[in-house]
Amino acid sequence: MSDLLTLRPYMITAIHQWCCDHDAKPMIVIHAGEGTYLPPNLRYSDATTFDIGVAAIADLHIGEFVSFKARFSGKVQEIMVPVGDVYAIYAEGKEIGFVFDRETNETTNDVINTEEPPPKKKPTLTIVK
């Protein structure tokens, strides 16, 4: 595992802890690859988002894998994702998070903006004589 990839669990843990401390909902975005265990009914697309807040999951472990148990359709199921398949972690409704570079497993310093852009002004016409 590269040095930058070994930082990923710490960054995920840090954002998760910040969210818990500030009553925000921590969300992770994963790209299901080899080694990812998702119940078959949860494979919707290449990118899947999970709420990993303390009210939504149990038994969260962040290390070489991010694993947790959650209820889906009333049934407890286990999710296990290699830390390299975690694409992003962010606080829902806040402007904080990290997006990880998929190709190099490095991080970008982009802040995830969850606010809607301001409405565009209507064009105006000016009479020219």
The arithmetic mean of pLDDT across residues 38-60, rounded, is: 83
Task: Report which of 29, 69, 31 is spatially closest to residue 49, judged by C-alpha positions.
Answer: 29
Q: What CATH topology corresponds to 3-108? A: SH3 type barrels. (2.30.30)
Which tops the pLDDT comparison, 5 or 86?
86
Evaluate if residue 68 carries a pLDDT over 90: yes
Evaluate if residue 74 carries a pLDDT over 50: yes
Q: Note if the pTM is more than 0.75.
A: no
Write down the pLDDT at residue 120: 65
Q: How many other CB atoms are there within 10 angstroms of residue 49's CB atom?
A: 14
Please tell me the number of Cα atoms within 13 Å of 25 on its side-chain side. Answer: 10
Residue 18 region by backbone torsions, left for phi larger than 0, else alpha for psi between -120 and 50, else beta? alpha
Contact in structure between 8 and 98 (CB atoms under 8 Å): no
Distances (CA, A) of 49 to 32, 43, 119, 122: 11, 11, 27, 36
Q: What is the pLDDT confidence band of residue 41, given thresholds at 50, 70 and 90?
A: confident
How far apart, in whole angstroms, are the C-alpha atoms of residue 70 and residue 56? Answer: 7
**CA 17, 22, 27, 28 torsion-angle sign:** negative
